A = this chain, B = another copy of it.
Amino acid sequence: MSAKITYDALTAYTTKVLEKLGYPKPQAEITAWVLVEADARGVPSHGVGRLPFYETNIKKNFVFPDAEPEIVHETPISLTVDGHNGIGGHISKFAMDRIIEKAKNSGAGFASVRNSSHFGMAALWAELASKEGFIGMSFTNTRICSIVTFGRERILGTNPICYSIPTTGKTPFTLDMATTTVAHGKVEVHERRNKPMPIGWCVDEQGNDTTDIHAFQKIYRESNMGGHLFLGGAGEELGGHKGYGLGLLVDLLCSGMSMGSWCRDTFSPVNGCGVTHFFGALNTNLFGNSNEIAAHVEGILQQVRDSEKAHGHDRIFIHGEKELEKRTESLAEGVDVDDDELQMLAGYGEKFGLEKLQ
């Protein structure tokens, strides 16, 4: 069961909860935007349901809500930011705003960021650039959850890759993908439903393919062995080494360039949260006339949409379309929030004496 809450009401309420959790107003506002945007786009794994996780991060001293990002290196087309384990959305907005300015003035802007925290959907940051007509890029490392090819120890994360490319159509091309086959939320759904996992999602503590959801979850909770596979699964036959390569690439760009913590060192008593990001904004006028390029991109996408469909299918999707169509629906009809989350939100309301969420 779920209810529909207006975008604005959910944003205002989430902002208040975050302020009560100790977020200064700017940090609370940007984070509420990050969370509500995810729910509005039909990506609840990155939505307001994250609030308890954010609260825990503060309690564990992984994250300090009032920390301000500091520029530790800067050139006309780049910067490196130390987030001092502040709020991921606040730090990411700071970095993106600056590199978009650089892309306007100098054609390109890249930012490496260390000591940040969860930044929500990668797409939100890349789309800040594509809205300005630039190619946007957004990568982040995360907590450990995944296993490299021929490994059995969780040393990397979901490490998403995101590129957003401007078009002359209704939506940009926005590829926002975990480099693992699935995120852990999908495993949890199978656990609740007592459903075996497909081969290609996870390996057990020996690094062998497993479908046994309960045995897997036990190991996953009790040790650092066994975990998620990268796109392409275990071994090399279906290209698992490629997915692993993409996941590792993300960590090298994010933590390598920022001199920050790689996945295994994040969320540690020593380093704090320590999550790292890498952002880019590339002005398409580096290559010619931006309007002509955007129209050419849209022309390619339209031919992809119009190409022959597989048996039983009537639509070929372009990346980002589903999410932005859902967003339009959510703005008109309200954002879906499921009962568990409504209860969690109501709990915060009671605790903090907030007006009831309508």
**Residues of A bordering B, CB below 8 Å:** 72-73, 75-78, 80, 106-108, 110, 112, 135, 147-153, 155, 161, 163, 165, 173, 175, 177-178, 181-182, 198, 200-201, 203, 206-208, 225, 231-234, 237-239, 241-243, 245-246, 248-249, 251-253, 255-259, 262, 264, 282, 284, 286-288, 292-293, 296-297, 300-301, 303-304, 307-311, 313, 315-319
A171 to B228, CA, bound (A): 27
Closest to A179 in B: B242
Residue numbers in B under 8 Å from A163 (CB-CB): 249
A239–B182 touching, CB < 8 Å: yes
B149–A73 touching, CB < 8 Å: no
Residue numbers in B under 8 Å from A175 (CB-CB): 242, 245-246, 248-249
Residue numbers in B under 8 Å from A293 (CB-CB): 256-257, 259
Closest to A232 in B: B231
Closest to A203 in B: B310
Closest to A313 in B: B150
Q: What is the oligomeric copy number?
A: 2
Closest to A186 in B: B237
B149–A297 touching, CB < 8 Å: no
Residue numbers in B under 8 Å from A318 (CB-CB): 248
A318 to B256, CA, bound (A): 15
A161 to B297, CA, bound (A): 19
B287–A257 touching, CB < 8 Å: yes
A233–B242 touching, CB < 8 Å: no
Q: Which of B77, B173, B200 contacts A77 (CB 8 A)?
A: B77
A296 to B262, CA, bound (A): 10
